[in-house]
Amino acid sequence: MVFAHGFGCDQNMWRFVAPAFEDRYRTVLFDHIGAGGSDLSAYDAGKYASLDGYADDVVELCRALDVRGGIFIGHSVSAMIGVLASKKAPELFASLVLVCPSPRYLDDDGYVGGFSFQQIEELLDFLDTNHMGWSQTMAPAIMGNADRPELGDELINSFCRTDPDIAKRFARTTFLADNRADLAGVTARCLVLQSSEDVIAPREVGEYVHHHLPNSAFVLLDATGHCPNLSAPDVTIAAIEGFLREAGLE
Amino acid sequence: MNEATPDPRAQDADDLEDLFENAPCGYASALPNGRISKVNRTLATWLGHTNEHLVGRRFLDLLNIAGKIYYETHFAPLLRMQGFFNEVALDLVRVDGTTLPVLVNAVVRRDEESEIRFIRITVFNASDRRRYEREMLEARRSAERATAALQDLNATLETRVADRVRALEQAWRLSPDLLAIADGQGTFLAVNAAWKVLLGWEVSDLVGQSFVGFTHPDDLEGTQAALGRIMTAPMVAPYEYRLKHADGTYRRFSWTGVFEGGQIYATGRNTTVEHEQAAALSRAEEALRQSQKLEAVGQLTGGVAHDFNNLLTIIRSSVDFLRRPDLPEERRARYMDAVSDTVDRAAKLTSQLLAFARRQALKPEVFDVGDRLRRIADMLNTVTGARIHVVTEISDMPCFVKADVSQFETALVNMAVNARDAMDGAGTLTLRLDDTGNLPPIRGHAAASGQFASISLTDTGAGIVPEQIDRIFEPFFTTKEVGKGTGLGLSQVFGFAKQSGGDVEVQSALGQGTTFTLYLPMIAAEASAQPAPVGDGEDFPIGDGQCVLVVEDNVEVGRFATQILEDIGYRTTWASNAEEALEKLGVDGSGFDAVFVDVVMPGMGGIELAKILQLRMPDLPLLLTSGYSHVLAQDGLDGLQLVHKPYSADQLGRMLGKLVPRRP
């Protein structure tokens, strides 16, 4: 069982969910490039300009760990990274759990993504101008405590460390991506978990994903916000267990 | 209990309430589901909302779009995981749509069972800080741009230098002119390919060599001097000298250069072709002048033929009358005078032509201008006619000049005739003589210092239009009808004045008249020792059979000359050219008492013959005759005696009488 975190955090995202499966599954948690304890020097702007670069990492990682017929649980943008990875290597995952997925954040002709182009522009612009304010929050290592990282971890933010430059590019890659066409042809069984009040991935988007996947289940969680795995871990765990049970995996 | 005494507990509550509501930062409390349950006045005021409006909304709803996304993806997870977040920079949206930069702290408050009671949110106004951050960010971007620009500049500078070097190399290679770099001693350091094209030298022939070896020996001194000058000052005018071609010939080059940084940079333009072109142009101009002269001769024919025909008519009819055997003596004398006068006038006409041609042999003599003017005034009266009053204003002071008297008189007559025609035959002509001193500047010529006599003729005529005043001295320029004037009169005046070292000036006002002023250089009176003129009317010595060799190529003139000489008592022998004359004279000229030679003859000319005779037989008297002679006009008579054509028997007799010794 592979857990993939979304944009803005690291594997700590799963700290309330993953332990519930450790007794029955081999759980794998990892940080995407630029997040948590990843090797920042491995960053390649060209490779990670599209989600394919991140999906390739997932494939490489899972093959290295000899994952076959496994369960991929991806939050937010990692839901789509999982879709891409399963299409690249269908043998890796028998099931995909997509938590608050969105194949396209921008509204399009007849498609509701939740954001207008102007709003995404404003986001990207704000990322540039507010660089210092957020990097301070998200990257304690550059706050002058590089010699005492434990201090930064304790006093400022001990979770969700991200490299500000990579995060900025990741945001661009994420919010400008259009992976709607990739939903078709996914062979794994899929579960779409939709939060009831999510400004990032509204309900229409979750339903779109559900309808365009060949084989999927849809669960509307009793949870608010974009991170039900944090705000409502029990509900989330129950939904995943229900899905796995139906598949005879539980 | 006094009613006025406040309840201390109520007072504390009021104080806390005041602190909460009016603290310099915003406070909000949110329920576990994120909805705001309480908000202070400060935050509500910042946002332009009422407290009631804010309660029940999510804190998320107060953020701009970027803040919403980041709150959901970053800060909400943080809050869930670690229970707080500090100093998150966000933008709140005011009711009017503007944004308020803030720093937000949040902390989760839990009860004894670890259930979330509420989330305490503290908001600091970060307008100043955000502005400072923006400025820092902008400063960093400026620095990055400057660095990038500097890198670009470095890169483009290299490109530009490379381009420039390439351009210079092309110019050096393609220049049609010689280009050279030399050291201060004139040793070539670099030369371009034009040296091969223009002078046949390879670069290797020149580099390391001094310019001296390639310079024409006659130009070396000047070129070394020019090289010296260039060391101290930039060349202001090109310097030209001859360079040796590989084939041994020389070519002209015009050089400019500059000395800088211990090296001479020079460029040389081939001017050989220019010189050839200049010579060709000069030849063309000479040919043009020649053709203009031919054209002038053609015009002259028309003008002079008329006058000559008139004169010839008089002579012819007079001669016809003279042939009549029964002609009374009184009429014979009249016709004889008419022929004689007419010949004089014809001679005057030809002498005017010669004066124009400036090929007449002037016979300068010293004379008193005042004296001469008084004598000629009467003649001018007859020239101008009865209706023109001639006034003379001549000082008594002696005023000596050295000039040809007859040309002087001709000039005065020409000016008088011009004045007469300008006045249409009636008016006043004033003849003045002044001692003016310096020669004023005339027609762009500089003034000349020295003593000049000015002879002016002022008429009361029509004046000369300004467009023509510059042309009146041109030969053949005339305002008169065809056949009425030759256009040579004023040209003679001009030629005479110039040939005599003076000038002529004209001042004219339309309708008021014209003044011609003739300037002639004055000489001191004591230098004016004058040979006694051979007076007319006195008897001339008649020959007594001495033998004269007449050398004349023209049959008519020769026959006439021998006839005259025999009439006045000489014997004659006639040779039709110089060679024949030498043959007849033999080694010592024995048998001859004098030789009378025409100057202009085909083959050996008269002057050449005379010079041979002066050497071989210096005692044999020589008399030359000529209508005009280029050689005499240029060189003078050089001791030779000359009688001008046309000559009278009287003139010829007097000259020979002086030269030929009478027989013992």
CATH of the domain at B551: 3.40.50.2300
Pair (B505, B441) in one structural domain = yes
Q: What is the mean pLDDT of residues B80-86?
A: 84
Out of A198-212, B78-92, B234-248, the most confident range is A198-212
Q: What is the mean pLDDT of residues B414-435?
A: 84
Pair (B319, B371) in one structural domain = no
Structure-block tokens of residue A165: 């430059």
User: How many A/B residue pairs have CB atoms within 8 Å?
Assistant: 101
Q: Inter-chain contact B77–A157, Cβ cutoff 8 Å?
A: no
Bridge partners, B431 (sequence order):
B392, B457
Given a cut of 50, is residue A139 above it in pLDDT? no
Give me the pLDDT at residue B107, please. Answer: 92
Give a yes or no: residue B536 inside a domain: no
Contact B433, B373 (CB under 8 A): yes
Contact A105, B72 (CB under 8 A): no
Give the closest of B87, B130, B136 to A137, CB-based.
B87
Give a yes or no: residue B255 inside a domain: yes
Query: How far is the C-alpha of B468 from the C-alpha of A14, rounded, in Å?
Result: 117
Give me the pLDDT at residue B402, please. Answer: 86
Pair (B249, B387) in one structural domain = no
Lowest mean pLDDT among A224-228, B189-193, B391-395: B391-395
Q: What is the mean pLDDT of chain B?
A: 82
Pair (B251, B313) in one structural domain = no
State the total domains in chain B. 5
Domain boundary among B270, B302, B330: B270
Pair (B425, B458) in one structural domain = yes
Q: pTM for this one? A: 0.46
Q: What is the mean pLDDT of residues B456-478?
A: 79
Which candidate, B548, B581, B589, places its Cα nearest to that of B565? B548
Give a yes or no: residue B598 inside a domain: yes
Pair (B431, B348) in one structural domain = no
Contact B80, B64 (CB under 8 A): no
Q: What is the CATH number of the domain that holds B306?
A: 1.10.287
Q: What is the mean pLDDT of residues B262-281?
A: 85
Report which of residues B649 and A26 the model is more confident about.
A26
Q: What is the CATH number of the domain that holds B45?
A: 3.30.450.20
Structure-block tokens of residue B79: 């809050």
Q: Inter-chain contact B73–A134, Cβ cutoff 8 Å?
A: no
A76 among known catalytic residues = yes
Give me the pLDDT at residue B137, please. Answer: 75
In three state form, how does the secondary structure of B210-267 look? EHHHHECHHHHHHHHHHHHHHHHCCCCCCEEEEEECCCCCEEEEEEEEEEECCEEEEE
Find how far residue B272's CA is from the centre of its chain: 22
**Chain A positions touching chain B (beta carbons under 8 Å):** 6-9, 12-13, 15, 76, 115, 119, 122-123, 125-127, 129-134, 136-138, 156-160, 175, 198-200, 224-227, 230-231
Q: What is the mean pLDDT of residues B196-209?
A: 91
Chain A residues in contact with B137 by the CB 8 A cut-off are: 129, 131-132
Given a cut of 50, is residue B529 above it in pLDDT? no
Q: Which residues contact B542 (CB under 8 A, 6 or more apart)?
A: B568, B569, B653, B657
Pair (B403, B476) in one structural domain = yes
Tell me, what DSSP letter sits at residue A20?
G
Contact B641, B624 (CB under 8 A): yes
Query: How far is the C-alpha of B34 from the C-alpha of B245, rounded, in Å?
Result: 101
- Bond preceding residue B646 cis, omega within 30 of 0: yes
Give a yes or no: residue B138 inside a domain: no
AA letter at B562:
T
Give a yes or no: residue B169 inside a domain: no
Lowest mean pLDDT among A176-185, A240-249, B630-639: B630-639
Contact B600, B610 (CB under 8 A): no
Query: How far is the C-alpha of B20 from the C-alpha of A51, rounded, in Å?
Result: 47
Q: What is the mean pLDDT of residues B210-234?
A: 88
Contact B36, B119 (CB under 8 A): no
Structure-block tokens of residue B414: 């020409």
Q: Inter-chain contact A137–B88, Cβ cutoff 8 Å?
A: yes
Chain A residues in contact with B83 by the CB 8 A cut-off are: none
Bridge partners, B254 (sequence order):
B240, B269
- Report percent pLDDT > 90 for chain B: 19
pLDDT band at residue B558 under the 50/70/90 scheme: confident
How does pLDDT run across A177-234, given as a tens digit for each residue? 999 999 999 999 999 999 988 889 999 999 999 999 999 999 999 888 899 998 889 9
Give me the pLDDT at residue A3, please. Answer: 97
Report which of residues A89 and B297 the model is more confident about.
A89
Pair (B244, B106) in one structural domain = no
Query: How far is the C-alpha of B282 from the C-alpha of B571, rounded, in Å?
Result: 53
What sections of A16-163 are H helices per DSSP? 51-64, 77-88, 117-129, 131-138, 149-155
Report which of residues A152 and A36 the model is more confident about.
A36
What sections of B358-469 are H helices per DSSP? 369-384, 405-422, 466-469
Place of tokens 């310096």: B438
Give chain A's count of helices (H) and strands (E).
9, 6
Pair (B582, B558) in one structural domain = yes
Give me the pLDDT at residue B528, please. Answer: 43
AA letter at B385:
G
Chain A residues in contact with B67 by the CB 8 A cut-off are: 126
Give a yes or no: residue B111 inside a domain: yes
Pair (B612, B635) in one structural domain = yes
Query: How far is the C-alpha of B197 from the C-alpha of B646, rounded, in Å?
Result: 65
AA letter at B231:
M
Residue span of the structural domain in which B252 resides: 175-270
Give a yes or no: residue B86 inside a domain: yes
Structure-block tokens of residue A34: 């630029």
Question: Distances in Å between the alpha carbon of A121 and those of A50, A171, B70, B96, B246?
Answer: 18, 11, 14, 21, 77
Pair (B187, B306) in one structural domain = no
pLDDT band at residue A148 under the 50/70/90 scheme: very low
Pair (B384, B339) in one structural domain = no
Give me the pLDDT at residue B389, please. Answer: 86
Question: Looking at chain A, which residue has its C-alpha nearest residue B77?
Answer: A230
Q: Inter-chain contact B69–A224, Cβ cutoff 8 Å?
A: no
A198 among known catalytic residues = yes
Question: Distances in Å between the alpha carbon of B551 and those of A221, B512, B556, B606, B637?
Answer: 152, 56, 13, 8, 18
